[in-house]
């Protein structure tokens, strides 16, 4: 028998849906109302037609949409929601991996659990579990978007289990590696020197460092303000204040005198991709690894900042605030670095 189901929208409102069985499968349709009394009257109509075996009169038999057709809609929507880098990566996942495997003409309703599991097996031949999980999550996000737009019935949404991700050791730089990297950055360019310094001494995300403007630097109080703007929003979509240590303060003051009319602090790095190429060159020049377990990326510098704070005895709660973690569980990956916490735990054992 047809029944009402409430669903929350992104704005927190309640929209009523009617659920019923049609031609042997469950169908859920939005009643496009938040008023339960109105929804109840619509439900009565569905139940009447259900009793008369005439539900086909109101079931909207839309033309089934293909993956390629809906991808255009989905990417237009994603472009408004995602950072430029993540939007670019997401587009590449679909163009280079998902579409070639699934087929652009494949109907969304035919992307089954079995088909996605076949894709997982296929991709595991060349990339890690984590990479496969990211790609499959992109596909599932598209399918959920199709459900929201009523281009796909919710009953056809596959339930996919994430692959287990085996995490290696946390990579951070030791003091000799830090010195080598700083030297290589200074020799590379003034821009790279400032970028590396912001990452090492303020623990910024690379996107934060690249979008930081001189107006965000309070030289009097030695503070950096990471805050949303019209043309850019931080990963967490919230503001935070990061204190500037003396060494970074000196570097920023010198650089500000060199480019007094510049807007961006890291001037000259035009895109995340240009930065990635330049940083890779610096890593190689420093004699550090660009591949494998010991690979050094820009994010390694953020790990380095956090790791050395914890090893110097700073509480995880403080480190979380400095990093801008909205969930302190994220910061717990550094817990094992707290000085002597394992050693002190066993000191009182006596046999």
Write the CATH number for 299: 1.10.443.10
Same domain, 287 and 205: yes
Higher pLDDT, 159 or 333: 159
Q: Phi, psi at residue 218, to the nearest 5°?
A: -95, 95
Residue 351 is assigned to a structural domain of this protein: no
Is 74 found in the same domain as 14? no
In a domain, 29, yes or no: yes
Q: Do residues 44 and 73 both lie within one domain? A: no
Q: What is the mean pLDDT of residues 196-205?
A: 95
**Number of Cβ within a 10 Å radius of residue 326:** 12
Query: Average pLDDT of 169-174?
Result: 84
Residue 169 maps to a domain = no
Residues 214, 269, single domain; the answer is yes
Of 156, 188, 209, at which residue does a domain stop? 156
Same-domain check for residues 186 and 322: yes
What is the average pLDDT value for the chain, to the nearest integer? 85
**Both 13 and 88 in a single domain?**
no
Query: Is the per-residue pLDDT at 274 higher than 60?
Result: yes
pLDDT at 237: 79
Q: Is 66 helix (H, G, I), strand (E, B) or coil?
A: strand
- If asked whether residues 38 and 83 sit together in one domain, one would say no
Instruction: Choose the final residue of a domain: 124, 156, 188.
Output: 156
Structural domain that includes position 24? 3-57
Residue 235 shares a structural domain with residue 186:
yes
Q: Over pLDDT 70: what percentage of the chain?
A: 90
Q: Residues 195-211: what's their mean pLDDT?
A: 93
User: Which candidate, 38, 27, 10, places its Cα nearest to that of 18?
Assistant: 27
Whether residue 246 is predicted with pLDDT greater than 60 in this model: the reply is yes
Domains held by the chain: number: 3
Assess whether 233 and 306 both reside in one domain. Answer: yes
Asked whether residue 222 falls in the same domain as residue 100, the answer is no
pLDDT at 343 over 60: no
**Could you report the per-residue pLDDT of 40-54, keeping only the tens digit for each?**
888 887 787 777 676
Q: Measured over all CA atoms, what is the biggest interatomic distance in the chain, rounded to whole angstroms?
A: 81
With bands split at pLDDT 50, 70 and 90, how would you rate the model's confidence at 142? very high
Task: Please tell me whether residues 187 and 335 are part of one structural domain.
Answer: yes
Q: pLDDT digits over 76-87, tens only?
A: 988 887 777 778
Please say if the pLDDT value at position 89 is more than 90. no
Is pLDDT at 58 greater than 90 in this prediction?
no
Q: Is the pLDDT of residue 12 over 70?
A: yes
pLDDT digits 0-9 by tens, 209-231? 988 999 999 999 999 999 988 77
Is 193 within the bounds of a domain?
yes
Lowest mean pLDDT among 28-37, 57-66, 120-129, 196-205: 57-66
Do residues 202 and 270 share a domain? yes
151 forms beta bridges with none
Distance in angstroms (rounded) separating the CA atoms of residues 226 and 212: 7
Last residue of a domain, one of 38, 57, 76: 57
317 touches 338 (CB < 8 A): no
Residue 166 domain flag: no
């Amino acid at each position: 028998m047809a029944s009402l189901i409430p669903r929350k929208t992104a704005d927190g409102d309640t929209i009523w849906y009617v659920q019923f069985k049609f031609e042997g499968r469950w169908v859920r349709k939005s009643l496009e109302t938040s008023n339960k009394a109105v929804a109840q009257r619509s439900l009565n109509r569905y139940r009447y037609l259900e009793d008369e075996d005439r539900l086909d009169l109101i079931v909207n038999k839309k033309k089934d949409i293909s993956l390629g057709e809906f991808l255009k809609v989905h990417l237009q929507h994603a472009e408004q929601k995602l950072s430029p880098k993540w939007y670019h990566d997401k587009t590449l996942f679909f163009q280079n991996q998902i579409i070639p495997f699934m087929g652009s003409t494949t109907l969304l309703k035919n992307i089954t659990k079995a088909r996605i599991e076949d894709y997982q097996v296929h991709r595991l031949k060349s990339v890690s579990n984590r990479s496969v999980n990211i790609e499959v999550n992109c596909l599932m996000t598209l399918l959920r978007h199709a459900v929201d737009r009523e281009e796909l019935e919710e009953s056809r949404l596959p339930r996919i289990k994430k692959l287990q991700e085996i995490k290696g050791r946390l990579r951070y730089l030791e003091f000799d590696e830090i010195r080598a990297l700083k030297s290589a950055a200074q020799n590379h360019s003034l821009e790279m020197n400032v970028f590396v310094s912001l990452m090492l001494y303020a623990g910024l995300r690379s996107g934060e460092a690249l979008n930081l403007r001189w107006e965000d630097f309070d030289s009097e109080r030695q503070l950096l303000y990471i805050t949303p703007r019209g043309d850019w929003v931080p990963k967490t979509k919230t503001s935070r204040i990061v204190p500037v240590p003396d060494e970074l303060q000196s570097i920023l003051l010198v650089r500000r005198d060199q480019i007094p009319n510049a807007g961006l602090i890291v001037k000259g790095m035009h895109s995340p991709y240009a930065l990635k190429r330049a940083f890779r060159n610096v890593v190689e020049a420093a004699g550090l690894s660009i591949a494998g377990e010991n690979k050094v990326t820009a994010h390694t510098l953020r790990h380095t900042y956090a790791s050395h704070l914890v090893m110097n005895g700073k509480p995880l709660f403080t480190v979380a605030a400095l990093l801008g973690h909205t969930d302190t569980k994220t910061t717990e990956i550094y817990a094992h670095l707290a000085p002597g916490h394992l050693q002190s735990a066993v000191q009182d054992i006596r046999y």
